[in-house]
Homo-oligomer: A and B are copies of this chain.
Amino acid sequence: MSTLHAIPRPVIERMVLYLRQCQRLEREGIDTVSSTELGEAIGASSAQVRKDLSFFGQFGQRGLGYPVQNLERALRPLLALDREWKVALVGAGNIGRALCTYRTFRERGFQIVALFDSDPRKEGCTWARLKVLPMSSLRRTVAELGIELGIIAVPVEAAQNVADQLVAAGVKGVLNFAPTHVTVPSGVAVRSVDLAVELEQLAFLVTRSSAP
């Protein structure tokens, strides 16, 4: 059933991974894949793969598996990845620089089209063909370029304020790299990537498993 009504959160993440794997298989010239193979590639069970895909429709052939090309072509529009997304990046620091030039973003259809920083000393600098713009021009730029997503790569103290400004400018999704919780109004999506928390979790897991 392809109601698309309530897709469980974890399913969305895996769907993206299935799509990516299909694209890899296509490049390798493989044209059929089983749920078991797809599962192994992304670290999930075959039952999981079949359940996940069934949220969006019926893509497989019983006895055979999933036709890679068909699946890829079906998934791309369902996941809204059949088009380009324009992204505003706020924070011309350490992390911001890496994201500016991160090739996988562009390969996957995400184009960083504007770079902002509140530090006037950075204003005018150019990174990866992007001029650093002042925060005062955020609103206008988002509207003019039709930017829909924003990335926060500023220090903790500024993160919530930047989130508010992005939302006020009309951005509909925010990816936060500052190690703090940010709130946005309903109707706007947020995700946080907290690099230190990732390492901290690893540290815990490591000591747990080595001390039975």
Contacts and interface: CB of A to CB of B under 8 A. Distances in A.
Contacts of A110: 196, 199, 203
B149 A200 contact: no
A54 to B, nearest CB: 17
A73 interface: no
Given A98-B95, A104-B196, A189 B172 contact: no
What is the predominant secondary structure among interface residues of chain A facing chain B? helix
A199 B105 contact: yes
A16 B201 contact: yes
A198 B175 contact: yes
A183 interface: yes
B41 A203 contact: no
B105 A200 contact: no
A204 B183 CA distance: 19
A12 interface: yes
A7 B205 CA distance: 10
A64 to B, nearest CB: 24
Interface in A81-134: 81, 85, 87, 94-95, 97-99, 101-105, 107-108, 110
Contacts of A201: 12-13, 16, 191
Interface string A154-176: 00000000000000000011110
A110 B202 CA distance: 11
A148 interface: yes
B193 A195 contact: yes
Given A102-B195, A173-B205, 5 more contacts: A79-B204, A80-B206, A97-B97, A104-B179, A172-B210
Interface of A: 4, 7, 12-13, 15-17, 20, 41-43, 79-81, 85, 87, 94-95, 97-99, 101-105, 107-108, 110, 148-149, 172-175, 179, 181, 183, 187, 189, 191, 193, 195-210
9 contacts: A7-B208, A13-B201, A16-B197, A79-B203, A95-B98, A172-B210, A175-B199, A175-B202, A189-B205
